[in-house]
Chain A
Amino acid sequence: MTSIDRRSLMQGAAALGAIAGSRAYAENADRTVTMVKQDTTASTPMTNYIGTATSRVDGRAKVTGEAKYAGEFSARGLAHAAVVESAIPNGRISRIDTSAARRVAGVLDVLTHENRPRMADTDKAWKDDVAPEEGSPFRPLYDDRILFSGQPIALVLAEDWETARYAASLVDIEYDKQAFVTDLHKQLDQAFAVKKPEKPHGDADKAFAAAAVRHQAEYFIPTEHHNPMELFASTVTWDGDGKLTVYDKTQGVQNVQRYLCSVFDRKPDDLRVISPYVGGAFGAGLRPQYQVVLATLGALALQRSVRLVLTRQQMYGLGYRPATIERLKLGARADGTLDALSHEAIAVTSQFEEFSRNDTGWAALLYKSANAKYVHKLAKLDLPTSSDMRAPGAATGVYALECAMDELAIALKLDPVELRLRCYSDKDQNEDLPYTSKALRECYSQGADAFGWNARKAEPRSMRDGSDLVGWGMATGVWEALQMPVAVRIGLGANGHAEVFCAASDIGTGTYTIMAQVAADTLGLPIENITIRLGDSTLPQAPVEGGSWMAASTAHAVVATAEEVRGELLALAKKIKDSPLADAKLEDVTLADGRLVSKRDTSRAVSIADVMRQGAVERIEKEKTNTFADDKKHARNTHSAVFAEVKVDEQLGVVRVTRVVSAVAAGRILNAKTAHSQIMGSVVWGIGMALHEETVFDHRFGRIMNANIAEYHVPVNADVHDIKVIFVDEPDSLVNPMGIKGLGEIGIVGVAAAIANAVYHATGKRIRDLPITLDKLQG
C-alpha cells in the first residue's frame, strides 16, 4: 500500500482506496456505502445544539476516571513489557547479551533483532498513511543498526512491569560506535533544498536590494517535543485463532491497523485497533509509534496479551518539531507595501526519511509582494525522523514571518496592525486564487478593540506597571482549512435513541461532542439520546485525526448519513395508511423533537416511534461516506490576529504573559465551549513556545539531556493568566456546505511572535531565538 500524502488524501477516490482492509462488521444492517458529492442545496440542519456551548458528552467519563486509555485495558494473562534503549546515536549493536535479564524470575522472554518474530522487509510495507514519501521508515528491533540515541533495541517481557523494568537494566550491549552529528548548526553546508509548491515571483533579490526600507534577519526555533500527558502505550490482546486486538494511543486507528497488518502480514479481519480516548497527541500519534510494533512483537512471540507503556524519557525517542532556522528578507516601500519577500527555512530530518512541511508558503497567503522567493532546505541528522507537531511549518514559519513584519513596521515607523493592513493580500498569491472567505481584517479590528490596542504607545520602553516594563505585541495567524472523506454509520432505534459510528478519534479536540451535536440536530433528537462510538478500526472509514480537518469532515459525514436515515424514515412514513407525509419529498421534511415533520406544514408529522412501529422496523441503520467536491478555484484557510501583553522585570529578565487576545476567523463554530478551549489551549502552547520550550541536546553524546517533563518546560498553571478568545463572524458557503473550517491548530500560529514582539516593545531588545529565556534578555 503506498503512503498517501496530504494532497492525495483530499481526493475522495484515492482515499477510498485506503479503505481496503477495514474489517467488515457483522450486524444485519441495511447499509449503503456510497460516495456522494456534497450537494450544495442540502438542507441546513436545525440548530438546537450546533453553535451552542454544549458540555462535552464524554465529560462524565473523563472526570470520573471511567474513560480508559491505551495502557489501561486489561486482559487475561497480560504480560508486561519494558524497552531497552540505545545509548549511542549511530553505529551497530556488536553484541547484545540478555542472559542476565532472562534469569530474573518472572521474565518470560527478551526480544532483540536477533530473535524477534518476522516482520516485513520492504519499505513499502512499513510506510503508513503519514510517512514521508522519501526514505525508509524506521523499523524497531529490525536489525543491528543504531540510528538515534534512545532507539529501542530490546524488549523485555515479564509477568509484571517492575520486573520487566529491572530486567531491562540487566541487558548488556556492546556497540560499534560510528561518527554522528546531531547539531543543525554544524550541518548547514550539507543542507539540501526540497521541492515545495510555492513558486517564486519576479526577482526577489534584485527588488530587495533596491527597496527603500529593508529588513533581514535570521530566526531560530529549537527542537520541541509534543509531551502529551498520556504516555505512549499499546495493549495487544491475544484473542486466539490468530486474532489480535490492539488498544493503542493513536490519532488514526485505521492507519495503525493497515500498518500492523502490512508489517506483520496479518489478515485485516484478524487485527483490530481500538482507541476510544487519547490523552493528547498534537501530532505525535499521527504515525504509528514504535511501542505498537514492539507490543505486537511481544504478543506474537509469547502468544499472550502484552502491554507496553513507554516512559516519559522514552517519549523523547519519538517524533518532534524539527529545529528550524528561518531567514527572512523583507523589502518595502516607504508606505509599507512590500516589493520583495524572501523566506528560507532550514529544518531537521533524520538520516533515513525526509520529513518537511510548509514553513515558507504562508507569506504568499498574507502579504502582497510582486517579488518573492522561497527556499526550504533539510539537514539530515542522527536523530529520529521529525514529525508533525501542532501547526507544523506554520508555528515555526509564521513565527519568523510575523517577527520580521514587526521589525519592518518599526523600521517603517508604522503601527504593526497598520502594516498588516497595507500589505493585506485578498488572494493566495501562490496559486492565484481567491479565498472561500477571509475575515482577517475583522480579526485585526475586533482583536485590537478587545485588547485596547489603540492605547499603545509605539515607542519601546514607554509603558510601565510600577517597576515592570509593559509590552504590547501582535501577530497574524493563518492555517489551512482542509477536509477529508469520512464515513459514518447511524443506527436509529424505535425508542428514539441513535448511535453514530466512525473510526475517527477524539484526541481532546471534542470530536465526540460535535458529532453528537450534529447528530442530535439532524436527527431531531435530544443530545442525551445520542451515543457516539469512535476510535475502532472496524468502524466506518476515517483518516487520521489531524490537520484540523476532522470537525468539517465528521460533521458533514453525520449530516449526509442522517439524510439517508431521514430518507428511510420518509419511505416508511409514506407507507402508513393515510400518512400525513404521503406526498412529501425528502427535501420537504425534517426531523425535530423526535418526529418526521413537513417543513411546509408542521402539523403534518409522524413520530419516529410510530413510523418504525408501523413499519415493523426496530432499527434503521445507514452508512455513508461523505466526500467534498474538489474545488480547485479557491484557497481555503483560517486566520487569526493575536495580541499579547507582557510585563517584564527588566533587572532580572523575568517575563510574564499577562494578557492575550486571540481573534479567530474559522467559519462556523460548532461548539462555543470546546472551540474556546481549543484556542485557549493553543495560546498556552504559544506561551510555552515563546518562553519555555526547548529540547536540549548534548551534541558530544548526541543525546537529549532534558528528556523528562521537569526540565523540558511546558507552561504550568501559574504561567497562564488572561486569555480572551473571539470568534469573528465568517459565513462561508464555499468551503463546504456548513461553512466549517476547523480549529485545532490556528490558535497556536502567531502567538509566539506576538509575545516576542511584545517583549521587544517592552524592553527594546529583540530576541530572535526561541525560547526567550531570562539570560537572553540580560543586556
Chain B
Amino acid sequence: MEPLFGEFGKGVREIQMAQHNTAQRSSDPIPPPDKIPISLGINGVETTLRVAPWTTLLDALRDHLELTGTKKGCDHGQCGACTVLVDGRRVNSCLTLAVMKDGAQVTTVEGLATKEALHPLQQAFIDHDAFQCGYCTPGQICSAAGLIAEGKAKSPDQIRELMSGNICRCGAYPNIVAAIQQAMGGKS
C-alpha cells in the first residue's frame, strides 16, 4: 500500500489502513452507543434526557432540546459562540460532554430575559449596537453575564481581555465593551 505522502516513513496511510481494517474485519453492524439518562436544570426547568456519551452539551441543547439560541461557531472551544453558564460559570458547551453535567444548572441565552423585560445585558447590547449578524451574540451575552458574576473586570482593558474568548467577526468589540459597561452600571 503506497503511503499517501510518499517521502515519509511508513506512511500515514498504512497506519490508518491498519486501524481501519480492524473495523472492517467484522461484517457485523456497528451498534450505536448506549444512551444515558441525565437530568439538567435548563433555565430553571428540570429536564431529563437520554444522551449518548459523545453528545456535547451544545448539541444536547440545540438538537435534543431545540434550544438553538446557543450557537456552534467552531465546535472546538476556539470561538466562544457556544458559551453558556453551568452552575453559574461561563464555559464552552461544545467541549462539555452532556453526561458529565448530570445534575447541573444550565443557563442559556433563552433564560436571561424575564417575562417583563430583557436582561440588562440584552438591552445594553441593543442600545449600543453590540452585534451585527447576531451569531456570536448569545455567546457574548452569556459570557458577559459570567464575567460580571466573576467580578474581576474593573477596567475597559480588563473587560477586553476577559471577553477575548468570544470572537466577533463583524468586529463589534468596542460596542460590546460599551454595552457591558452599561450593564455593569458604569459609564457607557
Q: Tell whether any CB of A sits under 8 Å from a CB of B in the complex.
A: yes
Residues of A whose CB lies within 8 Å of any CB of B are 55-56, 58-69, 71-72, 74, 87-88, 99-100, 103-106, 160-163, 170, 172, 175, 227-231, 277-282, 309, 311-312, 507-510, 673-674, 676-678, 680-685, 700-701, 708-710, 714-718, 720-723
Most chain A CB inside 10 Å of its own CB: which residue of B69, B135, B141, B176: B135
Q: In the complex, given contacts A63-B122, A162-B54, A709-B79, what are 16 additional A-B residue pairs having Cβ atoms less than 8 angstroms apart?
A: A65-B109, A66-B69, A69-B135, A100-B24, A105-B29, A161-B63, A229-B81, A230-B135, A279-B136, A508-B131, A508-B132, A510-B132, A677-B170, A677-B172, A677-B175, A717-B177
Residue contact A508 to B137, C-beta cutoff 8 Å: no
- Contact residues, B50-64 vs A (CB, 8 A): 52, 54-55, 59, 62-63
Known contacts A161-B59, A680-B175; is-contact A709 B73 (Cβ 8 Å): yes
Residue contact A700 to B5, C-beta cutoff 8 Å: yes
Residue contact B133 to A65, C-beta cutoff 8 Å: no
Question: When the two chains form the complex, which single residue of A99, A162, A229, A715 contacts B79, counting CB atoms closer than 8 Å?
Answer: A229
Q: How far is the CB of B73 from chain A (nearest CB, A)?
A: 5
A residues in contact with B116, CB < 8 Å = none
Question: When the two chains form the complex, which single residue of A71, A103, A685, A714 contacts B30, counting CB atoms closer than 8 Å?
Answer: A103
Known contacts A64-B69, A681-B172, A717-B164; is-contact A709 B74 (Cβ 8 Å): yes
Q: How far is the CB of B187 from chain A (nearest CB, A)?
A: 15
B residues in contact with A103, CB < 8 Å = 27-30
**Chain A residue, CB-CB nearest to B32:** A105
Q: How far, in whole Å, are A682 and B171 apart by their CA atoms in the complex?
A: 7
B residues in contact with A715, CB < 8 Å = 171, 173
Residue contact A279 to B134, C-beta cutoff 8 Å: yes
Indicate whether B149 reaches chain A with its CB closer than 8 angstroms: no
Q: How far is the CB of B4 from chain A (nearest CB, A)?
A: 6
B residues in contact with A714, CB < 8 Å = 167, 169
- Contact residues, B140-177 vs A (CB, 8 A): 141, 159-161, 163-164, 166-177
Question: When the two chains form the complex, which single residue of B52, B68, B168, B175 contacts A72, counting CB atoms closer than 8 Å?
Answer: B68
Known contacts A63-B125, A65-B109; is-contact A170 B20 (Cβ 8 Å): yes
Indicate whether B23 reaches chain A with its CB closer than 8 angstroms: yes
**Chain A residue, CB-CB nearest to B157:** A718
Q: How far, in whole Å, are A221 and B70 apart by their CA atoms in the complex?
A: 35
What are 12 of the A-B contact pairs (CB < 8 Å)?
Answer: A63-B118, A65-B70, A65-B110, A161-B59, A229-B73, A229-B168, A229-B170, A312-B73, A312-B74, A676-B129, A677-B132, A677-B175
**Chain A residue, CB-CB nearest to B27:** A103
Question: When the two chains form the complex, which single residue of B24, B63, B138 contacts A65, counting CB atoms closer than 8 Å?
Answer: B138
Q: How far is the CB of B125 from chain A (nearest CB, A)?
A: 5
Residue contact A63 to B137, C-beta cutoff 8 Å: yes
Q: How far, in whole Å, are A436 and B160 apart by their CA atoms in the complex?
A: 41
The 10 closest A-B pairs by CB, nearest first: A65-B69, A684-B171, A279-B135, A508-B133, A62-B134, A681-B171, A508-B132, A72-B68, A65-B109, A59-B126
B residues in contact with A63, CB < 8 Å = 109, 118, 122, 125-126, 131, 134, 137-138, 141
Residue contact B129 to A230, C-beta cutoff 8 Å: no
Residue contact B174 to A680, C-beta cutoff 8 Å: yes
**Chain B residue, CB-CB nearest to A227:** B169
Most chain B CB inside 10 Å of its own CB: which residue of A62, A103, A309: A62
Most chain A CB inside 10 Å of its own CB: which residue of B5, B32, B122: B32
Indicate whether B31 reaches chain A with its CB closer than 8 angstroms: yes
Known contacts A60-B126, A74-B66; is-contact A508 B134 (Cβ 8 Å): yes
B residues in contact with A710, CB < 8 Å = 74, 76, 78
B residues in contact with A708, CB < 8 Å = 74, 76, 78
Residue contact A280 to B135, C-beta cutoff 8 Å: yes
Residue contact B59 to A162, C-beta cutoff 8 Å: yes
Indicate whether B108 reaches chain A with its CB closer than 8 angstroms: yes
Residue contact B173 to A229, C-beta cutoff 8 Å: no
**Chain B residue, CB-CB nearest to A65:** B69
A residues in contact with B175, CB < 8 Å = 677, 680
**Chain B residue, CB-CB nearest to A700:** B5
Known contacts A63-B122, A684-B171, A718-B160; is-contact A230 B73 (Cβ 8 Å): yes
Chain B facing A: main interface SS: loop
Residue contact A229 to B133, C-beta cutoff 8 Å: yes
Interface size class of B (residues with CB under 8 A): 35 or more
B residues in contact with A685, CB < 8 Å = 171
Q: How far is the CB of A724 from chain B (nearest CB, A)?
A: 10
Q: How far, in whole Å, are A306 and B76 apart by their CA atoms in the complex?
A: 24
A residues in contact with B5, CB < 8 Å = 700-701
Residue contact B76 to A312, C-beta cutoff 8 Å: yes
Q: How far, in whole Å, are A609 and B153 apart by their CA atoms in the complex?
A: 53
Residue contact A508 to B170, C-beta cutoff 8 Å: yes
A residues in contact with B126, CB < 8 Å = 55-56, 59-60, 63
Known contacts A104-B29, A681-B132, A717-B164; is-contact A60 B118 (Cβ 8 Å): yes
Residue contact A684 to B173, C-beta cutoff 8 Å: yes
Indicate whether B102 reaches chain A with its CB closer than 8 angstroms: no
- Contact residues, B111-128 vs A (CB, 8 A): 112-113, 118, 122, 125-127
Residue contact B134 to A162, C-beta cutoff 8 Å: no
Residue contact A67 to B74, C-beta cutoff 8 Å: no
A residues in contact with B78, CB < 8 Å = 312, 708-710
A residues in contact with B108, CB < 8 Å = 65
Residue contact A280 to B70, C-beta cutoff 8 Å: no
Residue contact A163 to B160, C-beta cutoff 8 Å: no
Question: When the two chains form the complex, which single residue of A58, A100, A280, A716 contacts B170, counting CB atoms closer than 8 Å?
Answer: A280
Residue contact A229 to B169, C-beta cutoff 8 Å: yes
B residues in contact with A65, CB < 8 Å = 67-70, 108-110, 138
A-contact bits for B1-44, CB 8 A (1 contact / 0 none)? 00011000000000001001001100111111000000000000
**Chain A residue, CB-CB nearest to B5:** A701
Residue contact A677 to B135, C-beta cutoff 8 Å: no
B residues in contact with A681, CB < 8 Å = 132, 170-172
Residue contact B59 to A279, C-beta cutoff 8 Å: no
**Chain A residue, CB-CB nearest to B127:** A55
A-contact bits for B76-112, CB 8 A (1 contact / 0 none)? 1011010000000000000000000000000011101
Residue contact A280 to B133, C-beta cutoff 8 Å: yes
A residues in contact with B135, CB < 8 Å = 69, 228-230, 279-280
Known contacts A312-B73, A677-B172, A718-B164; is-contact A277 B63 (Cβ 8 Å): no
A residues in contact with B161, CB < 8 Å = 717-718
Question: When the two chains form the complex, which single residue of A105, A230, A510 contacts B71, counting CB atoms closer than 8 Å?
Answer: A230
Q: How far, in whole Å, are A723 and B4 apart by their CA atoms in the complex?
A: 49
Q: How far, in whole Å, are A273 and B153 apart by their CA atoms in the complex?
A: 44
**Chain B residue, CB-CB nearest to A66:** B69
**Chain B residue, CB-CB nearest to A703:** B5
Q: How far is the CB of B153 from chain A (nearest CB, A)?
A: 11
A residues in contact with B81, CB < 8 Å = 229
Q: How far, in whole Å, are A723 and B126 apart by their CA atoms in the complex?
A: 19
Residue contact A64 to B173, C-beta cutoff 8 Å: no
Most chain B CB inside 10 Å of its own CB: which residue of A99, A278, A678, A717: A717
Q: How far, in whole Å, are A105 and B34 apart by their CA atoms in the complex?
A: 12
Q: How far, in whole Å, are A714 and B136 apart by their CA atoms in the complex?
A: 14
Q: How far is the CB of B105 from chain A (nearest CB, A)?
A: 18
**Chain A residue, CB-CB nearest to B69:** A65
Q: How far, in whole Å, are A282 and B169 apart by their CA atoms in the complex?
A: 10
Residue contact A170 to B23, C-beta cutoff 8 Å: yes
Q: How far, in whole Å, are A682 and B72 apart by their CA atoms in the complex?
A: 23
Question: When the two chains form the complex, which single residue of B54, B127, B134 contacts A67, counting CB atoms closer than 8 Å?
Answer: B134
Question: When the two chains form the complex, which single residue of B27, B31, B55, B174 contacts A720, counting CB atoms closer than 8 Å?
Answer: B174
A residues in contact with B73, CB < 8 Å = 229-231, 312, 709
Q: How far is the CB of A373 from chain B (nearest CB, A)?
A: 36
**Chain A residue, CB-CB nearest to B161:** A718
Residue contact B29 to A229, C-beta cutoff 8 Å: no
Residue contact B75 to A311, C-beta cutoff 8 Å: yes
Q: How far, in whole Å, are A175 and B136 apart by their CA atoms in the complex?
A: 39
Q: How far is the CB of B145 from chain A (nearest CB, A)?
A: 12
Known contacts A172-B20, A708-B78; is-contact A58 B72 (Cβ 8 Å): no
B residues in contact with A510, CB < 8 Å = 132
Q: How far is the CB of A76 from chain B (nearest CB, A)?
A: 13
Q: How far is the CB of A577 from chain B (nearest CB, A)?
A: 46
